[in-house]
Amino acid sequence: MYFKTERLIARRLELKDLNEFDEMQSNIRVMKYTLGRENTRVENANELEKIINEYALSETNRTIMGISKSSDETCSLVGACAVIKRDVECFEVGYRLLEKYWGNGFGLEILEGLITYCLTDLGATELIAEVDKENIYSVRILEKSSMNFVKEYYEENNLVRMYMLNR
């Protein structure tokens, strides 16, 4: 386990997560603002295997974690979150949830958990999160979080909002 919030745990992904991982990654509503398309089951199985293999590496610039409800003894996948190391003390954070878990506060809860984890356990002094401006629900979550809006910029014809937190 990487960290725990009131209702969620961030843990290593496992092969048993494939069905939920595939459900999340093959849903166009979940993937619309990241890839712009849903993934196939083969792509999802390959990506999950790659993530699991990265856990064995001693040095990596990213950690992708599974999200489960702490009350769920089977640890069914609710979503995934990531921490990407940009430089020594700067990290980017992100998450996505299976659509059936949208609208119950898990987004803000896991984001605040990621922030605490990065500041406390990883020694980050700067955190960044980026979101497509049209992803209004994720924009709202970032606006409610302890992160601050910094700027907007265009990336491949998409207007992106950047949020930051400095220690």
User: pLDDT digits over 21-55, tens only?
Assistant: 999 999 999 999 988 899 999 999 999 999 999 99
For the chain, how many structural domains are there in total?
1
pLDDT band, residue 1 (cuts 50/70/90): very high
Read off the amino acid at residue 3: F
- Measured in residues, the chain has a length of 167
d(CA 166, CA 120): 13
d(CA 148, CA 120): 19
What CATH number did the domain enclosing 142 receive?
A: 3.40.630.30
d(CA 47, CA 58): 19
- Is the pTM for the entire model greater than 0.75? yes
Burial class (CB in 10 A: 0-12, 13-18, 19+), 71: exposed
Handedness of CA 55, 93, 24, 65 (dihedral sign): positive
45 CB-near residues (< 8 Å, 6+ apart): 18, 22
pLDDT band, residue 89 (cuts 50/70/90): confident
Q: Which tokens belong to 10?
A: 């961030």
Q: Domain range spanning residue 13?
A: 3-166
